[in-house]
Structure 1
Amino acid sequence: MIALPTRAGKPDATLAKAVDLARTVALEVAEPGDVGDHLGVRAEGERVVTHHFACLRAGYPGWYWSVTMTRAKRGKDLTVNEVVLLPGDEAIVAPAWVPYKERLQPGDLSPGDLLPVEDEDVRLVPTYLVGDDPLDPPMDGDARAQVRRVAEDLGLGRVRTLSREGIDMAAERWYAGPGGPEAPLAKSAPDSCWSCGFLVRINGSLGERFGVCANGNANDDGRVVTFDHGCGAHSEVKLARKQQPLPMPDHVFDTLTDDEYEPV
């Protein structure tokens, strides 16, 4: 059963009776077997109505054909405004379109792919602080070119660097990720990364809470971890006596020789 739009008023009687004409118009844009039963008529305005027909086209369950018609005041000639195929409440429709930058996930980039960063990306600020004041107007192309020239002259290397917003966004993402304290691996760890000898400290404000794991045997090797993260590969972890492997027994010394056997 398709839930159709509610009525906007009493439909024009002449237009409401034109079911056969509406079906004929629908068949002009659809295959003969695609148009099903008449589902009803809806008033769109004064002397404007829409007829609805069930859609029988394969792959379109829950859709319906919509034929909108009108006529002039005191006129007998009917005019078709549009014929469209519309989804009902239970119809299968494509998901809402999302810009590609919002669809991208870590690991989606392949060799050779490019992901340009917008000039006004809030995560970045000019390395040479021209236009860094929030009260300054946005820089135009000439101003950005000047920033690049100054950065090159001063030997800064990078035209832009992380803004305060960019640092905060990275910290929130890392803290909530698999290298944070809420990861299942961290909750069962014997100790935290803060006291691990494999933790490599980083500079800047992010170094107050984050480091990089350098244990080649750990799951987080080469990844950013929080100081309160942890895993079972901590540098100071020790096995309890009951967890240690059983010692191997001494080798058995075989004292038998062939001389002790009498030939038969």
Structure 2
Amino acid sequence: MNATAEDPRSLARAVACEVADETSHVGDFLGSTELGDGVSDFRFASNIVGYEGWQWSVTLYHDVERDAWTVNESSLVPGEDSLMPPKWIPWKDRLLPTDLAVTDALGTEPDDPRLEDGEEALKAVEESIGEHGAKPAAASAEPTEDPTSTSEPAETPQDEDDVKSEEPTDDAGQSSEKTDSEGNGDADTTADTDAAKSAVKDELAQTAAIAKEFELSRRRVLTPLGRAQAAQRWYSGPHGPKSLSTKTADGLACQTCGFFVPLAGELNLMFGVCANKWSPDDGRVVSRDHGCGEHSEIEPPEPSSLWIQSKPAFDDMHIDIVRQAPREERGDVEAMESAGKPRFDDAGHYLGVKAGDVVLFHSQMPEREQA
């Protein structure tokens, strides 16, 4: 489609009305914007139900040489105050723990923020320290002087006799003291190295003990984020302090129950597992301030000495008599029902049916079957 330069706005409206399902869906003209290179964007209000604030956008190109407008494209675009759908969330992030069936499996991403490396990563550090040794504390605090350094060159005597002659006679023990001090320095360095190694070994031993206690030898374990999410989910769930059973437990919390098995680690501060087979929470993680009606300190009810006879669910001691409706008077039918079997003589002749002292004859009576 094209139009003269005099009326590009009418062309844009005609295009919008052609694209829309109904002409009434195109509202008032909102304005136009120059996009450069002869391209202009014409906007019209949208009157479609559910698309409040949206706008019809028609892009036209102006050919200056021909003095004509050509349609580039048209679409329905949102405005500043338009009604927009919520931001799309991946299906995996929309799932709830209760949405999964026993046959569903999501898997775990390699970079799941809820997990981190377990004790296996510490073994590599321990092996590295065992191979290269610990860095001495003295060496890490203050570097030793390098005898090959050229920053301050030492004066080297030309002859041993000159060295002996330069030593004063009244300080004869100075040389031996210097030798002793150098020996003590080597001993101090060795002691610092041994102390550093011992400290590292103690730290690794303590880490290994913690890993063994909390079973951190798995490839990946929970991060603080994973523990926090689990704690929040459990605490706000049906086995937390806001459940109906907690409100009816008369203040008897799980942390004082003998069937409460505390968890290990940081989750021990808030949670444990119920081990009471008569409790509705048996085998589930419960908070310490949760409660139910089967606390270990609740005494069983005392048996009563009186036997209370309950009403039976089905009473078979009485017979209900149902009155029958009166029967239609049909004498011949009743006579036939009360009569005996048809009688025949040896020749096969019908002798009638005897009903009491009366013998009935009927032309429709069946004949005796031949033997």
Same fold (TM over 0.5): yes
Distance across 2 between alignment mates of 1:199 and 1:212: 6
The match for 2:111 among 92, 105, 120 is 120
CA separation of 1:115 and 1:31: change in aligned 2, threshold 3 A: same
Alignment of 1:168 onto 2:228: yes
**DSSP-derived class of the 1:98 partner:** coil
Task: Return the offset for 1:224.
Answer: 1.0
**DSSP-derived class of the 1:37 partner:** strand
Determine the structure 2 residue equivalent to 1:159: 219
Contact map agreement 1:35 1:65 (CA 8 A) in 2: no
Contact map agreement 1:125 1:132 (CA 8 A) in 2: no
TM-score by length of 2: 0.46
Distance across 2 between alignment mates of 1:95 and 1:37: 26
Determine the structure 1 residue equivalent to 2:237: 177
CA separation of 1:34 and 1:85: change in aligned 2, threshold 3 A: farther
Alignment of 1:25 onto 2:15: yes
Contact map agreement 1:70 1:79 (CA 8 A) in 2: yes
Contact map agreement 1:15 1:69 (CA 8 A) in 2: no
Alignment of 1:237 onto 2:270: no
Tell which structure's C-alpha radius of gyration is larger. 2
The match for 1:37 among 27, 35, 58 is 27
Distance across 2 between alignment mates of 1:180 and 1:95: 32
Task: Return the offset for 1:50.
Answer: 1.9
- Write the mapping of 1:98-247 to structure 2, written as runs, cut at 5 A: 98-130=89-121, 158-183=218-243, 185-190=245-250, 191-237=252-298
Q: Which amino acid aligns with 1:116?
A: G
Equivalenced residue count is 210
Task: Return the offset for 1:238.
Answer: 5.2
CA separation of 1:249 and 1:90: change in aligned 2, threshold 3 A: farther
Task: Return the offset for 1:210.
Answer: 1.2
Contact map agreement 1:39 1:54 (CA 8 A) in 2: no
Contact map agreement 1:49 1:70 (CA 8 A) in 2: no
Distance across 2 between alignment mates of 1:32 and 1:87: 19
Task: Return the offset for 1:98.
Answer: 0.2
CA separation of 1:18 and 1:204: change in aligned 2, threshold 3 A: same
Contact map agreement 1:213 1:220 (CA 8 A) in 2: yes
Contact map agreement 1:42 1:49 (CA 8 A) in 2: yes
Determine the structure 1 residue equivalent to 2:41: 49
Q: Which amino acid aligns with 1:25?
A: V
Distance across 1 between alignment mates of 2:241 and 2:5: 67
Distance across 2 between alignment mates of 1:15 and 1:157: 78
Distance across 1 between alignment mates of 2:58 and 2:106: 45
Structure number with the bigger relative contact order (C-alpha 8 A, sep ≥ 6) is 1
Task: Return the offset for 1:182.
Answer: 4.3
Deviations 1:94-124 (A, max 9, x none): 4321012211101212243221211122222
TM-score by length of 1: 0.61
CA separation of 1:90 and 1:165: change in aligned 2, threshold 3 A: closer
Distance across 2 between alignment mates of 1:225 and 1:71: 72
What is the aligned-residue identity percentage? 39
Distance across 2 between alignment mates of 1:132 and 1:84: 61
CA separation of 1:245 and 1:121: change in aligned 2, threshold 3 A: same
Task: Return the offset for 1:184.
Answer: 5.2
Deviations 1:127-167 (A, max 9, x none): 3432899xxxxxxxxxxxxxxxxxxxxxx984322234322
Distance across 1 between alignment mates of 2:274 and 2:34: 65
Larger relative helix fraction: 2
Determine the structure 2 residue equivalent to 1:262: none
Distance across 2 between alignment mates of 1:108 and 1:220: 21
Distance across 1 between alignment mates of 2:57 and 2:227: 52
Contact map agreement 1:53 1:66 (CA 8 A) in 2: no
